[in-house]
Chains A and B, each alone.
Chain A
């Protein structure tokens, strides 16, 4: 087994007095594509946000590239796509301006050189948004916003991509672009951890699925393959590893 890129051991986190993560273990090795699945409120977003330090953890160890997260400084090795419906702020900004933010982890003192601007342009080409480079992000559709957010993460040319629900609210055409972009990254050796509500069009790329329920890992292994009627959107997926009598794990559109 190659070195772990992400390693969580016994991570606990609380929101107020409510425990959201109750001691989860998660390891992502180099080159792996791991999907974090689970119903709303299962703690999957909190888990990835604890990896990047956005959520304070109560206990447990988190390592990135073998370094404890608190001492981790090589942020240019990590590309992050937060769960957002928009890339816009309170002031107009062009697609290039937003994506350039992603390059700051490689730019010294915030000065973007020619190579940095090239990287931004390449990231925009990867998601098929190069022709909209000078447009205001406010003028984009939901799927295009998501493509911009992914380009922003790719601008630093990261070794690890962490994505929180990248397919949420994305139209079919953009879903295909995103799946293709991700495939290219995976073929180039990028490690990927993504939070998903359902496997959807990314299913063929995923090596391993980790399913969370109530802040605990209830499955860690090959992705549950949906077949026949089970593959229909809205189908409740009853997971074989779940304890008997437990609520079915709802991964469908209707949950």
Chain B
């Protein structure tokens, strides 16, 4: 495969695999706690980090990690204390983060909107050696947390109130989830871009749900879908000269549609089999008992 002869493509493919694993691995907990759009918000906040990186001539990846982790912690704090006003505070955080990023990168001597675009929508050719090192370290952290603490994170994401009574450190685990999501955003930033990160966290999980009945299976299938689409998207992007982020996200949505189309008749058949196994259980339609037909008075 000539694609592997190029050092930049080797780096891009390695980054793509890591993104394919980590994004759905964190995303499943966000979907479980019905915060599917949290990754999108963190992506917006991370833009300020990228801008700061350019302005201060530090690594944009590490700067984005720092800023998005702080942003995620702030989001979690808003969720605790914000109550009803929480969503407005979050909106200000997201758009403030995005505006801050655009402003800072324009102030930076080396930065331009063209640079920003590679972070917003992903760019394979610009993944540097130091980026790959950072991505590997960050991805290792994400896998360690999402797999190692899967039972605890499952319990907290399923039912926070109950998790507290099992003695789990609920607040610490919530913060850890937020920080892990922020780290994943920066892992995925170079490949799919900040604006499309959230899709790779959510859509593979949604697609996996079409086939699975258990959390463990959903996790495994979502990661498998994630890796498949990031690799095939990266390769397509190389040969067709199309942007990798958009290619990967469209492939993911394609996978979702395909799996939904395959799963719907399967689910129907399974439901029918269950109904048959339970014998003449609940009829699907209303049946009026013959003893109380029309005209019968309803007694008191």
Instruction: Give A174 Cβ to nearest chain B Cβ, in Å.
Output: 14
Which of A75, A78, A98, A134 has a CB less than 8 Å from the CB of B213? Answer: A134
Grouping DSSP codes into helix (H, G, I), strand (E, B) and loop, the A interface class, with mixed when no group exceeds half, is: loop
Chain B contacts with A in 138-181, Cβ cutoff 8 A: 149-152, 154-155, 157-159, 161-168
Residue numbers in A under 8 Å from B31 (CB-CB) = 90-91
Say whether B157 contacts A52, CB under 8 Å: no
Residue numbers in B under 8 Å from A135 (CB-CB) = 213
Say whether A136 contacts B155, CB under 8 Å: no
Say whether B162 contacts A152, CB under 8 Å: yes
CA distance A78 to B162 in the complex (A): 11
On whether A92 and B209 interact (CB within 8 A), knowing A110-B152, A136-B214, the answer reads yes
Residue numbers in B under 8 Å from A73 (CB-CB) = 167
Which of A78, A84, A101, A162 has a CB less than 8 Å from the CB of B151? Answer: A101
CA distance A110 to B151 in the complex (A): 6
Chain B contacts with A in 183-214, Cβ cutoff 8 A: 205, 209, 212-214
How many B residues touch A, CB cutoff 8 Å? 33
Say whether A105 contacts B34, CB under 8 Å: no
A-B pair count, CB < 8 Å, reads: 96
Contact with B along A123-154 (1 / 0, CB 8 A): 00000000000111001000000000000100
Residue of A nearest to B34 (CB): A90
Say whether A104 contacts B157, CB under 8 Å: no
On whether A78 and B154 interact (CB within 8 A), knowing A91-B32, A91-B215, the answer reads no
Residue of A nearest to B205 (CB): A91
Say whether B152 contacts A104, CB under 8 Å: yes
Residue numbers in B under 8 Å from A205 (CB-CB) = none
CA distance A157 to B28 in the complex (A): 30
CA distance A108 to B107 in the complex (A): 52
On whether A89 and B213 interact (CB within 8 A), knowing A52-B164, A78-B165, A104-B168, the answer reads no
A223 within 8 A of B: no
CA distance A97 to B215 in the complex (A): 7
Say whether A54 contacts B159, CB under 8 Å: no
On whether A156 and B166 interact (CB within 8 A), knowing A98-B158, A101-B155, A110-B152, the answer reads yes
Residue numbers in A under 8 Å from B155 (CB-CB) = 101, 104
Chain A contacts with B in 81-139, Cβ cutoff 8 A: 82, 84, 87, 89-94, 97-98, 100-102, 104-105, 107, 110, 112, 134-136, 139
Residue of B nearest to A106 (CB): B166
Chain A contacts with B in 47-64, Cβ cutoff 8 A: 49, 52-54
Say whether B212 contacts A101, CB under 8 Å: no
B216 within 8 A of A: yes
CA distance A6 to B110 in the complex (A): 65
B118 within 8 A of A: no
Residue numbers in B under 8 Å from A93 (CB-CB) = 154, 158, 214-215
Instruction: Name the residue among B149, B164, B165, B274 with the largest chain A CB count within 10 angstroms.
Output: B165
Instruction: Name the residue among B150, B162, B163, B209 with the largest chain A CB count within 10 angstroms.
Output: B162
CA distance A53 to B163 in the complex (A): 12
Say whether A80 contacts B215, CB under 8 Å: no
CA distance A75 to B167 in the complex (A): 5
A44 within 8 A of B: no
Say whether B167 contacts A76, CB under 8 Å: yes
Residue numbers in B under 8 Å from A49 (CB-CB) = 161
CA distance A76 to B149 in the complex (A): 19
Residue of A nearest to B270 (CB): A139
Residue numbers in B under 8 Å from A52 (CB-CB) = 161, 164-165
Residue numbers in A under 8 Å from B209 (CB-CB) = 91-92
Can you name 10 A-B residue pairings with CB atoms under 8 Å? A54-B164, A80-B162, A84-B159, A87-B159, A91-B28, A92-B212, A92-B215, A92-B218, A94-B213, A101-B158
Counting from the closest, the 4 A-B pairs by CB-CB distance are A75-B167, A101-B155, A80-B165, A105-B166
Given A82-B159, A139-B274, output 15 extra A-B contacts at Cβ < 8 Å: A53-B164, A73-B167, A78-B165, A91-B31, A91-B215, A92-B213, A94-B215, A101-B162, A102-B166, A104-B155, A104-B163, A110-B151, A112-B151, A136-B213, A136-B214
Query: B-contacting residues of A (Cβ < 8 Å)?
Result: 49, 52-54, 73, 75-76, 78-80, 82, 84, 87, 89-94, 97-98, 100-102, 104-105, 107, 110, 112, 134-136, 139, 152, 156, 162
